[in-house]
Chains A and B, each alone.
Chain A
């Protein structure tokens, strides 16, 4: 069964710093990987989706990479801001309505 791990579980950085969040998965047979953010008491907001054939996707200050063979994805956040504080989750799609979520990284950006 697919297992998705996110390390670290929590991260605290000063404003302006660049940072990397990690997501690893055990089964490389995936169709895509999606990154989300969740603010307290809210649903999940989709940030980026990377197809299995792609290496990276960019949106504004966010850049997500995917190395399917090694079972890893990273979410790079440039010039972090206090508004980036949230929990970030990754999810892999294995086909057939099978989505597997990581446990998330709680990010705090200190002003």
Chain B
């Protein structure tokens, strides 16, 4: 299967700082990537759809100024959690759509964020 790499896999930061998470499709180009948040023992919660070369589309209730998404190339999308607070601590996962028409998703390994 295709490979999507997410980095870092875990990060600890102080409250008030910003953290950047990268999502790369290693062997295919992805016009669209997705960012999710997952709480313990719960399913994925879609945060935003990241489109290469254009602004991300955020789901209702997700603060676009807090969760900055940049999709500058066909293989890289980044999620920046700005002015992080302890309530932002969570597991963040990205996915990339390999085929616009076929709709086949491949996921990164996830990033565990802990805000102290």
In this complex, what residue of A is CB-closest to B106? A46
How far, in angstroms, from A36 to B4 measured CA to CA in the complex? 15
Partner of B107, one of A31, A32, A43, A95: A43
- Chain B residues touching A, majority SS: strand
Contact A46 B1 (CB under 8 A): yes
Contact B110 A104 (CB under 8 A): no
Interface residues on B, range: 20 to 34
Partner of A93, one of B44, B103, B107: B103
Contact A41 B110 (CB under 8 A): yes
How far, in angstroms, from A43 to B112 measured CA to CA in the complex? 11
Chain A residues 40-93 with CB under 8 Å of chain B are 41-46, 49, 51, 89, 91, 93
**A7, chain B: closest CB distance, angstroms:** 14
In this complex, what residue of A is CB-closest to B57? A97
Please judge, given known A-B contacts A32-B102, A43-B6, A91-B105, whether A101 and B43 are in contact too, CB under 8 Å. yes
User: Does A2 sit at the interface, judged by CB under 8 A?
Assistant: no
A28 — which chain B residues lie within 8 A by C-beta?
A: none
Please judge, given known A-B contacts A89-B43, A101-B44, A103-B43, whether A45 and B107 are in contact too, CB under 8 Å. yes
**What would be 10 A-B contacts, judged by CB atoms less than 8 Å apart?**
A31-B103, A36-B107, A41-B91, A42-B110, A43-B108, A44-B95, A49-B104, A99-B103, A99-B105, A104-B43
Q: Which residues of A come within 8 Å of B, CB atoms?
A: 31-32, 34, 36, 41-46, 49, 51, 89, 91, 93, 95, 97, 99, 101-104
